[in-house]
Amino acid sequence: MPSDPDLPNTAAAGSKTASTAPRSRKQSISGSLFLLTALVLVLILGVVGAQMLERRALSIADAQARMAELDGVLSEQTSRALGDVDTALRDVVAETNAASLSSTAASPSPQTLRRHIAGLTQVLGVDIVTPDGQIRVSSRLVTDDHLPSTGLKLMAQLLKDGASGGTLISEPIHQSDGSWTALEITRLGGTNGGAAVVWLNLGYFESFYQKVSLEHSGSIVLQRQDGVVLVRSTRSETVTSTIVPAANDEDRIIAVHALAPRPLTLSVSVGKADALAGWDREALVFGLFAATAALIIAFLMLQLARRSRQVEEALSKLESMLAEERQINVSTQAANADMAEQMVERDRAAKALRQIQRVEAVGQLTAGVAHDFNNLLTVLLGNLELLQSNSQAAPFAQRLSIMRSAAERGASLIAHLMAFSRRQPLVPRAVDLAALITGMQPLLQSAVGSQVALAMDFAPGTPHALVDPSQFELMILNLAINSRDAMPAGGTLHLAVTTTQLAESHAPDAPQPGPYVSVRVTDTGIGMTEEVRNRAFEPYFTTRPLGTRSGLGLSQVYGVARQSGGQVRIDSKPGTGTTVTVLLPVAEVTEVVAEPVPVPLPAASQGRAHLLVVDDDTDVRATTALLLRRSGYDVTEASTAEQALSLLTSMPQIELLLSDVVMPQVTGPELARRAHALRPNLPVVFFSGYADPESIAGTVPMTRLLRKPFRPADLTNMIETVLAETRVGETTE
């Protein structure tokens, strides 16, 4: 019977449990003592805390009762003082209503008004005023003949309300002698339409409130019901509120009393800190006593628990020594198993790293070769175009077409190699992969044939991916063709798009952690062996017969995915089919690339421009210049950046710079930057067989990069498009 690899760990766990169980039983006494100590501390502190909270509540309730009692007494005294004012005011109103304001002689005399308020120190004077605020009679020695602005506003409000006999009280008024007063205005009845105005002495009430004994934070406030303060008496300068706090203020204890029927309230308040000062001292004493008692009890019980633990440890030491040997044996077996697993994992990581290094080395080599090979293909295709356009080459038309087809196949192979080496310029944008694959369905079905069933599964709410859509279409088409070849007898090709979250990984080829759009292409074919799977991304590696496939399909998928910031993974076993998972970064909103708006070309504009062609390769430069001259352009050639800059300075008729990207000493992008320093509006077009997209970033848009080898029609179309955009921009300016 085979041994279970998990048995050593199980035995270790069992041995450890058996050795610690007796100790746990023996340590229950010390553990109980520790628990009892904690319970005693909690009980003592809890009882003391509950008692102190109860006494605190009693202290607050006592302070509230005192404030309510004091507020009631002060409210009664204030109402009595205001009642005397009301009595005098009623006498004045009655006497005035019997007369007429139209005749000063018929109105009460100043001596009569003074007689009515004699002995009332809370009143500074009484006035009889007309509806427009003119003072007809006054007990005061006044020089003004109208009420102040505050009184006029109150008079207007009184007349607007239309309440006969109603009373309004104004805001406090600061007198020239430094005293404070407020106006109490009562409307006169009868046909007079005026009002009697009493000048209240607010200093009288303030002096009265100052005699009341209050704590340091105590406050007495007489105010209107709308919150305007008339009198405020405080023991502390820190109590500065102009409006009495609400009754549920957390920092103060407040009692409020309405002085009906007047629109006034009187509030008495004190800070909770003053109200609880005695409780604070009591809480400190009791807290120190309780803490001291709790610490003494805890110290004694902890000493007893430590003694108990020492005895328990001495009794368990012998049993531990017996179990230690068993533990060593089990630990040794576990360590050996872990070491073996680490060695296997290290070997697997080393193989993966070697594979990545091999693929990267091949990519670097192919990128270097692609540059020179694309230059050769540019010369070849350009001269083939010239020969085919020559009427004398008609007898060789078929041969020239065969040569052209072979050269274009070579260009296609180089494009695949550039994709694998991650050196081709990409134009990434936010792409809805589900919609793109759905639009490709007829093309995919045609590519895989009628024997292969297509199935698609797109998760709802999948975000857009950041990828070059044309390169993504080539990726999906290559994967579909590979799956078709793996299912010679037919089967099912399943394409799924969803979102996945990558965690941080220390693998050599792991992308950055974060959200990715996952595209899974699964077939029911023959599958791959581990050897084939490890080499699947190598250029020209294929399991098909020679001459049937180039072996660049998966390498192109690998290169585009890695250059886009993603990853490709293959899961396959012989006889179980293959799943290729492509991870692409999620596109942010700011990464959405708008579709270029085509600029209409002016009629008959082709050929009417002077171009500067710069390339260090003589054959490429000469062929390109010849093609452009045949299209009707004036062309000037330069082999170096220094020569091009000199020509730009001396030949202002040059309208466009056409430059290679990779040149010795001064590259194409650097040449463009220097040219723009001389002529800021000069349009630039790049052409290159090997261009790092980052090298031209910020110089010209990626849409102005022409990849070698190019067709003459593509070259002239790009030149005309750039010239048209430049002319439209100059016209707009």
Distance, in Å, from the CA atom of 373 to the CA atom of 642, rounded to the nearest integer, reads: 26
Q: 621 and 585, same structural domain? A: no
Distance, in Å, from the CA atom of 410 to the CA atom of 550, rounded to the nearest integer, reads: 11
**Is residue 43 in a domain?**
no
Q: Would you give the DSSP letter of residue 589?
A: G
- Write out the residue range of the structural domain in which residue 518 sits: 428-591
Q: 580 and 615, same structural domain? A: no
**Is residue 541 in a domain?**
yes
**Is residue 72 in a domain?**
no
**Is residue 4 in a domain?**
no
Q: What is the pLDDT of residues 140-167, one digit of tens each?
A: 887 678 888 888 888 888 777 764 456 8
Q: Which residue has the tokens 């080395």?
A: 361
Closest CA to 168 of 129, 197, 188: 197
Q: Name the band, by pLDDT with cuts 50, 70 and 90, for residue 107.
A: low
Choose the final residue of a domain: 556, 591, 626.
Answer: 591
Instruction: Name the pTM for this structure.
Output: 0.38
**Is residue 457 in a domain?**
yes
**Is residue 167 in a domain?**
yes
**Is residue 269 in a domain?**
no
**What's the CATH number where 574 sits?**
3.30.565.10
- Residue pair 197/126 in contact (Cβ under 8 Å)? The answer is yes
Q: Which residue has the tokens 């296997």?
A: 344
- For the chain, the domain total comes to 3
The mean pLDDT of 316-325, rounded to a whole number, is 79
Q: 547 and 432, same structural domain? A: yes
Whether 41 shows a pLDDT value over 60: the answer reads: yes
3-state SS assignment for residue 279? helix
Supply the mean pLDDT for the chain: 76
- Residue pair 584/448 in contact (Cβ under 8 Å)? The answer is no
Q: 586 and 717, same structural domain? A: no
In Å, what is the CA distance from 99 to each residue of 103, 108, 331, 627, 653?
Answer: 8, 8, 117, 118, 106
Q: What is the pLDDT of residues 206-259, one digit of tens each?
A: 888 888 877 777 889 999 888 889 898 886 554 444 444 444 466 788 889 888
CB neighbours of residue 158 within 10 Å: 18
Q: Read off φ and ψ for residue 597, nearest 5 degrees.
A: -85, 120
Q: 476 and 615, same structural domain? A: no
Choose the final residue of a domain: 537, 560, 591.
Answer: 591
- Residue pair 556/580 in contact (Cβ under 8 Å)? The answer is no
**Is residue 228 in a domain?**
no
Q: Name the band, by pLDDT with cuts 50, 70 and 90, for residue 8.
A: very low
**What's the CATH number where 663 sits?**
3.40.50.2300
The pLDDT of residue 621: 87
Strands (E), 402-462: 429-431, 452-458
CB neighbours of residue 202 within 10 Å: 21
3-state SS assignment for residue 16? helix
The pLDDT of residue 579: 93
Higher pLDDT, 36 or 601: 36
| 296-301, Cβ contacts within 8 angstroms, sequence gap of 24 or more | 297/37, 297/40, 297/41, 297/44, 298/37, 298/40, 298/41, 301/33, 301/36, 301/37, 301/40
Q: Name the band, by pLDDT with cuts 50, 70 and 90, for residue 177.
A: confident
- Residue pair 418/690 in contact (Cβ under 8 Å)? The answer is yes
Q: What residue type is 434 in one-letter code?
A: A
| Residue 425 token pair | 């310029």
Q: Name the band, by pLDDT with cuts 50, 70 and 90, for residue 310.
A: confident
| Residue 630 token pair | 């045949």
Q: 619 and 558, same structural domain? A: no
Q: 691 and 586, same structural domain? A: no
Higher pLDDT, 291 or 3: 291
Q: 539 and 443, same structural domain? A: yes
Higher pLDDT, 400 or 570: 570
Whether 665 shows a pLDDT value over 70: the answer reads: yes
- First-to-last CA distance in the chain? 89
- Residue pair 170/154 in contact (Cβ under 8 Å)? The answer is yes
CB neighbours of residue 506 within 10 Å: 6
